[in-house]
Each structure stands twice: as C-alpha cells, then as structure tokens.
Amino acid sequence: MIFDSLKNAWNVADLRKKIGYTLLMFLIFRIGAHIPIPFVNHEVLKNMLGTGGMFDFMDTLSGGSFKRLTVFALSITPYVTASIILQLLTIVIPSLERLSKEGDYGHKKITQYTRYCTVVLGFIQAFGLTFGIRSALMVPNSPWKWGIYFLVALVLTAGTAFLMWLGEAITENGVGNGISLIIFAGIVSRVPDALKYLYSLFTVHEINVFSLLGLAVIVVFIIAGVVYVQEGTRRVSVQYAKRVVGRRVYGGQSSHIPLKVNQAGVIPVIFAISLLAFPQTIATWMPTSGFARFVNTWFSMNGSVQSIPYLLVYAVLIIFFTYFYTAVTFNPVDVADNLKKYGGFIPGLRPGRPTAEYLSKILSRITLAGGIFLALIAILPTIVMGLTGLKNIYFGGTSLLIVVGVALETMKQIESQLMSRHYQGFMK
C-alpha cells in the first residue's frame, strides 16, 4: 500500500519534483550536521556531556549534531518552543486571538512573530549552552573570550534560523510538514549508530538474544499502537434538513463528523521534549551547583529509579499538550455554529450550544485516551531500559512515536495530492 502510493507519486511529475526537493533539503540538513563550530575541543566536550540523560536524546533529535557541537546543534527545538509560546499567547492576549482569526494575513503575522521569537530564544539557549561548556572552548583567558562566546552562540543561532527556513521551504515547496520532517530526518539518521551500538553490546555479551527480541517486540508494539491510535476516529452522526432554494432541494442526507482519538498527532511529544530540555540546559551553566546535581540525579531519563520524577513530569506534559493542541486546532463552538448555519444537527440534540457541549464532552474523553496512550508509549521504553539493562538506546518509544507519526501524516498528504490529481483527470 505505502510502496504503491510512493510509486504512483513518483510517476506524477509535480509530486516527483516535490519529493525530490524534500530529499535535497534533507541532504543539506545532513551536510550542515557535520560542519563543526570553531574553538571547540571535542575530546573535552565528549567527556563533559558524557552518556545518558537528556543530552543523548537531544543528540538523537539533532541527528548527532548536539554532541559534536556542529552548526545545527540546537536543531529546531527553539522554533518549537517559540510556537508553544505564541499559541499560549494567542489564547491569553485578545489582539493575538483576533489576529489568528484573520485568515491568511493573520497566519502570516503570527508566523512572523514566531520567527522573531525563535531567533531570540535560540540565542538565549545558544549562549547558555556556550557558557555552560566554556571549559571545552579553546579560548585564551582574556577579555576576548566573551567575544568568542558571543561568536559561537551567534553561529548556533544562525544554524537554528537556517533550519527554520529549511523547514518552511519544505512545507511550501515539498511534501509534509517541514519542521516535523527535519526532526524525523534527525532521528532516522541515528538508526545505523543505534544498531551498531546494539551489535557491540551483543558481541561483548552485555545483552543476550532475549533482550534483543524483547526490544524488537516493543518496537513492533509501538509502531502498531501508534498506527492504530492515529487512525482511530469517533464518528458523530449528523443529519441535514431539507432546504428549498429556488427550484432545487438541498440537504436531507446523513453524514458524520470524524473526531480523531489523537487529534494532536506527535506535536505534544515534541512540545514536552522542548520544555524538558530547559532544566538540562540551565544545569550546564552552573555544573557544580545544587540545582545541577538535582537535575542530573532526579530529572534524567536514565532508566533508573531516579528517573521516576522525570517520567511523571514528561507524561503530565504530554497529556497537557494533547489537550492544549486539540483545543487550538478544533473548536466545538465553531463546528456547532457551522452545522447550524448549513442546516445540520446531531440527532436528539438542539443546534447551537447543546451541540457544542456534546462535541466538547466527546472530544474531552477521546483526547484523554489519546494523551494517556502517547504518554505510555513515550515512557515505556525508559522503564524497559531499567529492567533489561539496555542503556542509551533512545531510538525507542518517543523516537518511534515521532517517526511513525510524521511518516503517517506525510503519506496522507501524498495520498491526498494523488487523489486530487486523479479527480482532476476524471473531470477532464
């Protein structure tokens, strides 16, 4: 099915051009992921960052750029954080809420604000990271060192800004959501290293065949579960009343409103990861402080008992952002008003407010199920790592969740574009 869709898409000249453009952007992303930043002693940096914890997962999201401290070390996380802030402000600030409802103009203005916020947050995070790893920078102990800190932070910020442009270019000229696809490409690029690491553990007898089989079963379970939940919908029956306009009769048919179990997709996971990266970043600024010791001991994803607070906060943030993003993307009041406007109603309910309350109630229940599922899938592999002894295998629950979710959404966009072209050919 998937291969047939890809084959059909490749046979369409327009789609072939879009897929080729997307692959070209992936190539540029991977080239940039290997361009090092000057003034960095990589041996000291490697010992400083070590293994385990959030740093390994951030390295996975950035496609290996974080621990090598290349120009794309910050990946696209500042953009994701800026998007969270702008969406929260859209709910809180009335002027931004009105702007978001002004169609294409409002969307462009909010996108512009998100870009500005990305650059500011990126520079703050870049300078914090630079200052935190200052002992790994080969700079003289003189007033000029602050200029070098500023230069390194500027290069990191420029890398994030370039990735933001790259993602928007993919969204506009390629296939799928560019920002999600960049994260997807970063995770997938780490698969060979993960497999190599597993093989090395197996050859030195640190893990056995049963551990590998258990990991394979978990991977299959996660993929099947993500596909099942992503495709799951709750269909709400809708009846349209008959209307006479001139000599024609409209309406009188039955339809349904498809409410997805996971309306937010993988966005809540990406949002939660972006927020959880902040404590680790702040801890690098003052590595000998009590805060840094607390974060490294009780707020890391190391598969031990100490990671329980991290897992709890991670799960709560995923559920919260599932509700939040669903509320942003689906408004029951607007749906109820549109149904009333076009003569539609849910059997047994009055149009207007009762319909909106009914839709909100259903959406709240299925969103809870979707959020709990996302949280369980995200934290389950970390628990399994603690039980099986597998360490630093972060191509697990969260990574697979993002990869499978992004792949599904991209394939849906390709299939929808194929279908539109088939319809055009039929009408011609």
pLDDT tens track for 16-59: 888 889 999 999 999 988 888 888 877 777 777 655 556 666 77
> What CA–CA distance (Å, rounded) separates 344 from 9?
37
> What CA–CA distance (Å, rounded) separates 72 from 33?
6
What global pTM score does this model have? Answer: 0.77
Give the per-residue pLDDT at 27.
Answer: 92
195, pLDDT greater than 90: no
Structure confidence by residue, pLDDT tens digits, 263-319: 877 778 877 877 777 777 677 667 677 777 777 777 665 555 446 777 888 889 999
Give the per-residue pLDDT at 120.
Answer: 93
Tokens of 266: 């993988």
Tokens of 70: 């290349």
Q: Strand 254-260 vs strand 248-250: parallel, antiparallel, or unpaired?
A: unpaired
Nearest Cα neighbor of 376 from 428, 293, 286, 314 is 314
> Above pLDDT 70, what percent of the chain?
82
SS3 245: strand
Give the per-residue pLDDT at 123.
Answer: 92
Tokens of 109: 């203005």
Helices (H), 242-307: 267-285, 290-298
> What CA–CA distance (Å, rounded) separates 41 from 316?
38
Nearest Cα neighbor of 90 from 273, 353, 264, 329 is 329
